[in-house]
Structure 1
Amino acid sequence: MKLYFLTSILFLFALISNPANAQVQDDLQNYVVLTKKIPQLQPIFLTAETLAHEDGKNFGKFEVIICGQTVKELTDKNMMQDYIAKAKKHNVELIACGFSLNKFGVDRKDISPELRVVENGILYNLQLQKKGYTSISL
């Protein structure tokens, strides 16, 4: 009886501490796109939708960093609401480059609060790549 109990405990411990179980999060496919043109968001959303279907339960995060002069367009809240709704539908996070906002004189208060701002979009993109994100710049 003691042997059965000890064997059961060891078996459960092996299951819980199995490195394969700990890597479930690491198996997620994460993506980041750096874009300089707002109209490119539409095909980016379609790409995210296709990858989510292909990856299934392994689909992780999909982030889009908007940088360059196009950040001026982020202040058009009517236009951006459609993009924000589509981003939510496809589990895409929209991110504005703070460096670009500063360079082109865009006040952060003038863009939708649904957009996250990172201080340096290029640096953030590289940091995500170091974490294993698949990356493309458009």
Structure 2
Amino acid sequence: MKKYFLSSIVLLLTLFASPVNAQEQHEQENYVVLTKKIPQLEPIFLTAETLAEEDKKNFGKFEVIICGQTVKELTDKDRMQKYINKAKEHNVELVACGFSLNKFGVDRKDISPEFRIVENGILYNLQLQKKGYTSISL
């Protein structure tokens, strides 16, 4: 009777503990950075590269939201192309804040199509945090 009871406990622990452990091991690590300065993209890309190496298969999404007056600089397509290339190289998605674009009079057509535009970058950042993204604002 004792062996049957112990065997049942071991079986139950194995059944219920394994899916949890497997899920934890395969959970994606997602990141979002909100920045107000274009030159900060260089260290952000290096950070994405390092995290991808550390996280390996668990590395998920890495998004950079550009907000504030610096959105004016997004219209300089020649300057931005090097950042776009680096973003692709490091699997980083570039996002522009629509609220900032409106506030500083930037026409969305003047921004490279590689930038995804969200209506409110701060709200979007908070929504990603609610989904479990690790976040930092610079």
TM category (shorter chain) comes to 0.7 to 0.9
SS in 2 for 1:33: strand
Match of 1:59 in 2: 59
Please state if 1:118 is matched with 2:128. no
User: Percent of aligned pairs with the same residue?
Assistant: 85
Structure 2's unaligned 5+ residue stretches are 1-14
Match of 2:27 in 1: 27
Structure 1's unaligned 5+ residue stretches are 1-14
Match of 1:85 in 2: 85
How far the C-alpha of 1:61 sits from its partner, in A, is 0.1
What is the number of equivalent residue pairs in this alignment?
Answer: 122
* Root mean square deviation, CA, Å: 1.9
Distance 1:62 1:130 in 2: 15
Matches within 5 A, 1:1-138: 19-20=19-20, 23=23, 27-138=27-138
Q: Deviations over 1:105-124 (max 9, x none)?
A: 00000000000000000000
Distance 1:34 1:26 in 2: 26
How far the C-alpha of 1:51 sits from its partner, in A, is 0.2
Contact 2:45-2:87 at 8 Å conserved across structures: yes
Deviant stretches of 4+, over 3 Å: 18-26
Contact 2:26-2:58 at 8 Å conserved across structures: no
